Amino acid sequence: MRILIRLMPLLAAVPLLSAAAGPDRNAQARAAMQSSFKAHGQAGMERLDQDATQALCSRYAPGMPPGEDAARAMAANRASIRYPADGNFLGDWKRGEAIAQEGTGKQYSDDPGKPSGGNCYACHRLSGDEVAYGTIGPSLYQFGKNRGRSEEMLKLTWSMIYDMKAFTLCSAMPRFGSRGILDEQQIKDVMALLFDPDSPVNR
Ligand code: HEC
């Protein structure tokens, strides 16, 4: 009985809490960010604007948007993918390794005139020798060795690097091509890192 009485104030608070977490919470979060974020260098206030995919994922987070909506959004993202003009998917793996290691580019303190890095190691294991890597994404060690180098595999991997949200709608992986983080040559270079038999990924 005593326990129940002690719980009463907690129980009374529940409806209030759920009201705060109601449909309005996106607007509240946005207002909080609008009032605390500042435009700084290349990081303008437009970074708070969500595109259609991000808005859809936010709406259902931490769950997934319903199948039909998700399929439509992924199809739109897939339509944004551009393939290399010369039909050649592979560049230079040594440059690719430098791009995969480089984490600067889009922050307020970075020089917008300089090319951005891919920061792949922040989320993936790639080279067998590198011991500092994140595990948000799967290991890409031995990627080319395991997957082969068919035209289909090259095209699929290019597409995933270009816009992972064409495959996993609410993926955490940056959309390197469709968001202009890496240019065509840089994507070719990280592709070579993944597929070249001499690259540290496949050795
Ligand atoms: C912020 C974390 C993050 C960064 C940075 C990142 N990725 Fe990913 N990546 C992921 C996640 C998470 C997945 C799993 C796919 C998903 O989201 O469902 C993934 C999947 C992949 C896959 C598919 C793996 C498979 O088994 O088919 C490839 C290829 C890939 N990433 C390449 C890259 C490359 C190249 C870079 C750098 C240019 C990079 N990623 C940067 C998070 C990241």
* One domain for residues 50 and 110: no
Q: Does ligand 1 have an atom closer than 6 angstroms to the CB of 122?
A: yes
How many DSSP H helices and E strands does the chain contain? 8, 0
Q: In whole angstroms, what is the distance from residue 153 CA to residue 98 CA?
A: 23
Query: Do 162 and 176 meet the contact criterion of CB atoms below 8 Å apart?
Result: yes
Contact 122, 134 (CB under 8 A): yes
Distance 5 CA to ligand 1 centre (A): 51
Residues 37 and 105 in one domain: no
122 inside domain: yes
Overall domain count for the chain: 2
Residue 54 placed within a domain? yes
* Same domain membership, residue 43 and residue 125: no
Claim to verify: residue 97 and residue 58 sit in the same structural domain? no
Q: Tens digit of pLDDT per residue, the chain (203 long)?
A: 444 444 444 444 444 444 445 568 878 888 999 999 999 999 999 989 999 999 999 999 999 999 999 999 999 999 999 999 999 999 999 999 999 999 999 899 999 999 999 999 999 999 999 999 999 999 999 999 999 999 999 999 999 999 999 999 999 999 999 999 999 999 999 999 999 999 999 99
Domain assignment of residue 43, given as a range: 2-62
- Whether residue 68 is contained in a domain is answered as no
The residue whose C-alpha atom lies closest to atom 40 belonging to ligand 1 is: 120
CA of 20 to the centre of ligand 1 (A): 35
Alpha-carbon span 151 to 148, nearest angstrom: 9
- In a domain, residue 30? The reply is yes
CATH number at residue 183: 1.10.760.10
Q: Are 57 and 97 within one domain?
A: no
Nearest protein CA to atom 26 of ligand 1, as residue = 138
111 and 21 in a single domain? The answer is no
